[in-house]
Amino acid sequence: MQEVLLHYLWRYQKFSSPSLVTTEGKEISIIRPGNPNAGGGPDFLEAQIFFDALLWNGPVEVHRKASDWYRHNHHLDPNYENVILHVVWEHDMDIAYSNGRKIPTLQLQDVVDQAVLDRHKSLFLSLHQRLPCESEIHRFSNFHWKHWLERLYVARVEQRVSEIQSLLKIYKKDWESVLFVLLFKAYGLNVNGTAFFENAQSIPITVIRKLLGKPLDMEALFMGQAALLEGAGEDAYQKELKERYVYLKSKFNLVQPKGVRVQFARLRPSNFPTLRIAQLAGLYAKQSALFQEVIRHSDPEASFKTFAVSLQGYWKTHYNFGSKSPSRIKKFSRSFFDLIAINALLPVRYAYARYLGESGEEDLFHWVEKIPMERNRVTKIFDQLKVPIQHAGDSQGLMHLFKNYCQKHQCLTCNVGFHLMKS
């Protein structure tokens, strides 16, 4: 028995009979089950329950077994001393307050509506579906999808805002530094995101400003900190960058990160870390106040022009050091920019709006609705099930849904699951 199902049964009073009694035989009448508590302490707050015609107000705690009270150490937490009712699936032992008085307990398995349990099992407990509700998801209308996906996307961005707020503390509210490290992480994609992030953290933004207009020095610095200049062979360009890096490292007292190293495996040549770092170097060599540029642009198209760094010169004939390839200008693609916008630019813009005391949602959707939907294994599943996916906000919302609800079987806290249980 899942505790989330017990929360659902209690919250929406899915009982077979209005007549309820505690394990000690006291008649109870539920006026209000209480409000779900998202923070610490009891599961439901401000419940109102009649016990033998006496009205009690207070919190309610829900468990699979009564003994979970002790297993979760609630008996040691003063926040649970005012619980007015302990709601359990199985009453396996009596539970008492610190003064020894028994806590009133309601055993749900005696009173639950079996039809609700059967409905839940048929909808969400299949082991042969990609999604718990796959067989009936078509009954969730496009209208409901639109509003649910908007909420999910905002929730996903809010998670990134939490990361940004932590970085703001580290960098003492320097938004330029925060954008710098987040851009590096985004340019590294899934394979090199962590390594790129660590490299960016090792370079103060003050150093970046001093290298403005010096693309070769900027590239040497970024490549060197990423340990991509080690073991130089006969490649003259790599040797030159290494010489410049040794000088810059000493001049600015830089420490090369010793954590995760960049990887080339499982990457297309166009996503090699050498090319992505060269693009970042070209970007920062020409733009010292990138944060202000990102904030002032009203839509993705204007911002794309800032980020569209094309690699020529050495990188026209190379994807990596020492390995020559057919001549080709390495353009900054619009699809890659869309990824950067989704993972860095939009969260920063939204976080900054919140920082200024504004909502930020209107701007967020103004941007994201102009970015095409992402195509990956998650969006493929929902697309095959005819879920309406119009833009990147929808695909981001679906990825949040899949990770935080579907995979965790949190169906009863999902709007889709809740709707299907009712219908």
Where are the strands (E) in 52-182, listed by range? 54-65, 85-90, 105-107
Picking from 182, 204, 296, the residue whose alpha carbon sits closest to that of residue 249 is 204
- For the chain, what are the domain ranges? 3-112, 172-354
DSSP letter assigned to residue 405: I
pTM of the predicted model as reported, rounded to 2 decimal places? 0.87
pLDDT of residue 41: 94
Which residues have CB under 8 Å from 106's CB, separation 6+?
Answer: 20, 22, 23, 28, 85, 86, 87, 88
User: How many CB atoms neighbour CB 351 within 10 A?
Assistant: 24
Residues 315-371 pLDDT 10s: 999 999 988 899 998 899 999 999 999 999 999 999 999 999 999 999 999 999 999
Which residues have CB under 8 Å from 108's CB, separation 6+?
Answer: 6, 9, 10, 87, 88, 89
- Say how far apart CA 93 and CA 70 lie, in whole Å: 10
Question: How far from 238 is each of 98, 191, 231, CA to CA, in Å?
Answer: 71, 24, 9
pLDDT of residue 138: 93
Q: Which residues face 94 on adjacent strands?
A: none
Which residues have CB under 8 Å from 39's CB, separation 6+?
Answer: none
Residues 104-126 pLDDT 10s: 999 999 899 888 998 888 888 77
Q: Is 388 helix (H, G, I), strand (E, B) or coil?
A: coil
pLDDT of residue 127: 67
DSSP 336-352: HHHHHIIIIIHHHHHHH
Low-confidence ranges of the chain (pLDDT < 50): none
